[in-house]
Amino acid sequence: MTVADVVVVGAGQAGIGVAAALREQGFAGRVTVVGREEHAPYERPPLSKSYLGATPVDERHLGLRAGGWYADRGIVLRLGEEVREIDRTAAVVVLGSGDRLPYDHLVLATGTRARTLPIEGGDLDGVVVLRGLDDARLLRRHLDRARTVLAVGAGFIGLEVAAAAHQRGVRPVVLDVASRVMERAVTSTTSRFFADAHRAQGTDLRLRTGVGALRGRHGLVTSAVTTDGAEIQADLVVVAVGVVPDTALARAAGLRTDDGVVVDAHLRTSDPAISAVGDCARFPEPVSGRSARLESVQAATDHARCVAARLAGRPEPYAAVPWFWTHQGPLKLQIAGLGGDLDREVVRGDPAQGRFSVFGFRDGRLATVESVGRPADHVAARRLLAAGAGPTPDQAADPAVDLKALAAVAP
Amino acid sequence: MPTITFRQPDGAELRVDAPVGTSVMKSAVGADVPGILAECGGQAMCATCHVYVTDDRALPPVSDEEDEMLDCASAPRTGHSRLSCQLVVDEDMDGLTVLVAGEGP
């Protein structure tokens, strides 16, 4: 069947990426993107970084595309619209306004929602999460008057917020129940480097510590009581304990979900007329061979391209190498591939100098590379992982081995 | 509004309106300039928005971050290499021409 009418649910990086990639691929049919927020589509990565820092990026520059771009390309944006239901039998999306949008193909780019803390005091003023632009605006307003910010969660977002707060002269405290920072995302070597660096710049970092309750005065948060009974004074609390994929629509429509909307190697859901992309999609990750759901700009962009190529009549299975980055003040980390269950880790460079890469191997093959201050390693790693080649652990450890050259000859 | 011309390695040119305050990269992406992939969205993390600026007008200096990523660009780095995401458009850039580095040889 010819696809003439594509509806995309979600106007974030992945959803707008689908619309853009469709036009790049020469798709001439109708493209409609439905977004829940009123804001013109914007970038998320700066929201926890430069948007919060001492010299914040101007909000007007966060736009993914300039205003006229959408209309110029015949892309219809329906912003501030909730999708109420997917009627698969009729192949129609029903909006909150009652409007019905027929589709030949539907793309779910519904993203994620921030997890909240179901604890006493969790609803006090000054307790915020950070996911969208409205959250970031609220957080920035609070940062303007805060003296101490408590980040609950030492993942990317918690640490990025702590670093931005520090730049503004707001004292950061970071708690995590895990035994190390960014525990799910990085190796212990990288974790230790970042923990030390944050502490060195004055962050009060407390690990193996949870929050039992938040206390306040006149409705505004004033302190947190930790699970070990300590009380931490804080007039701003950022809850950064991860996200959950927004699968409600997919579930209600009877699509297969499992911590994400489950898709195949072509990013099709259990209904071939519906695809899922970006943070909400659980897909067979080709480099690791695992089922994965990735919260990254890379996955959003590459998923979008893959689906657009298929809809334009040039189907290829998804094959992109995952990569991520985080900026935490002056600290920058670039990651290629996926960690977890590594059987060998090799450090190249010197963490004490702030310039090193950790090469992680699984079943004897290169699986992930974390780079701090060594962007060339990161770029080479992406090429090596894409080629399915890669250095041996001994080569990775040997500074005389030129990774760029190795990447260049990779098949 | 300043206009910037993007020249491709094959000589094709595209003139683009570049709003003051945005990056040169963003003005290119907004106009679908081929070869400016901007995979990281402008965070100096991917070097896929590499351009050559041969114009001799004063541009902001290359930061450490930009310097590091330029070393990793797939097309060869020259003395004219910049990451277009790190060039913020101002009125003085009106009429600037940049050569898209693309994927290189």
Kindly report the CATH number assigned to the domain that includes residue B72.
Answer: 3.10.20.30
Domain that includes residue B21, residue range = 3-100
What residues does A274 pair with on adjacent strands? A106
pTM of this structure:
0.95
Spatial CA neighbour of A272 closest among A307, A243, A248, A242: A307
Residue A235: DSSP 8-state: S
Residue A49: closest C-alpha in chain B: B43
- In Å, how far is B72's CA from the nearest CA of chain A? 5
Q: What total of structural domains would you count in chain B?
A: 1
Partners of B32 on chain A (C-beta within 8 Å) are 23-24
What residues does A233 pair with on adjacent strands? A223
Any domain includes B8: yes
- Strand arrangement of the beta sheet that strand A231-233 belongs to: A211-217, A220-226, A231-233
Any domain includes B34: yes
ipTM over 0.90: no
Touching A: B residues 2-61, CB under 8 Å: 19, 21-23, 26, 29-30, 32, 39-43, 45, 47
Any domain includes B105: no
A296 reaches B (C-beta below 8 A) = no
Q: Rounded to whole angstroms, what are the CA distances from B42 to A15, A73, A197, A237, B100?
A: 18, 22, 25, 29, 16
Report whether A404 contacts A391 (CB < 8 A): no
Q: What amino acid is encoded at A340 in this protein? A: G
Residue B37: closest C-alpha in chain A: A301
Name all domains of chain A by residue range, CATH numbers in brackets.
5-113+244-312 (3.50.50.60), 116-241 (3.50.50.60), 330-409 (3.30.390.30)
- By Cβ distance, the residue of B22, B43, B71 closest to A45 is B43
Any domain includes B35: yes
A45 reaches B (C-beta below 8 A) = yes
- In Å, how far is A111's CA from the nearest CA of chain B? 18
Any domain includes B74: yes
pLDDT in tens, chain A (411 residues): 688 999 999 999 999 999 999 999 999 999 999 999 999 999 999 999 999 998 888 888 899 998 889 999 999 999 999 999 999 999 999 999 999 999 999 999 999 999 999 999 999 999 999 999 999 999 999 999 999 999 999 999 999 999 999 999 999 999 999 999 999 999 999 999 999 999 999 999 999 999 999 999 999 999 999 999 999 999 999 999 999 999 999 999 999 999 999 999 999 999 999 999 999 999 999 999 999 999 999 999 999 999 999 999 999 999 999 999 999 998 999 999 999 999 999 999 999 999 999 999 999 999 999 999 999 899 999 999 999 878 999 999 999 998 888 887 766
